[in-house]
Amino acid sequence: MLGKILLTAAVIVIAFFFIRQRNLAAAAATETKQVQPSEAVQNPASHDNLAADLRLAAYMFLVLMLGLGGAMYYFRWQDDHTILTVTLHRDDQVTPTSYQVYKYQLQDRSFITVDGTSVAIASSERMEVFGLDQ
């Protein structure tokens, strides 16, 4: 998951510098071009306003996407770190054994407890999980 975030950040940074370099080259080309008086009358400053509005919209979209991505990553992390109670019922024991497990550590036939103990479940054991309904 962290690799995907770093790859996305790298693509955004590269695209930012690519577009910035292109805009600097375009600005240098327009500075060297001489404006004729007839063009100045036909092309008012509205073109500059449109470019500024589009740039603002692009930055707002970028901030929105980064904010939504960060919020989704945080809520996923928060959900994965929910502590569940796993109760194992064994045939040879009268009282069941309970464990505290992070949600992302719970597998089909095994899990790793909060304190780091790895538990494998035999086919003769029955497992109950409490806390998934939240």
* Secondary element (H or E) of residue 104: strand 97-106
Contact, 98 vs 87, CB < 8 A?
yes
Question: What pLDDT shows up at residue 27?
Answer: 76
What DSSP line would sit under 51-100, residue for residue?
Answer: HHHHHHHHHHHHHHHHHHHHHHHHHHHHHHT-EEEEEEE-TT-SSPEEEE
pTM: 0.57
Percent of the chain with pLDDT over 70: 86
Residue 80's pLDDT is 94
pLDDT band for position 134 (50/70/90)?
low
Using a 10 angstrom Cβ sphere, with 0-12 exposed, 13-18 middle and 19 or more buried, the burial of residue 90 is middle
pLDDT at 36: 54
Question: What tokens does 38 get?
Answer: 């007839």
Tell me the pLDDT of the chain averaged across its residues. 85
Query: pLDDT per residue over 95-109, tens digit each?
Result: 999 999 999 999 989
Q: What are 19-55's pLDDT values in tens digits?
A: 888 877 777 777 666 555 555 455 556 677 788 888 8
pLDDT digits (tens, 9 = 90+) for 71-84: 999 999 999 999 99
> Is the sign of the CA dihedral 113, 107, 1, 77 positive or negative?
negative
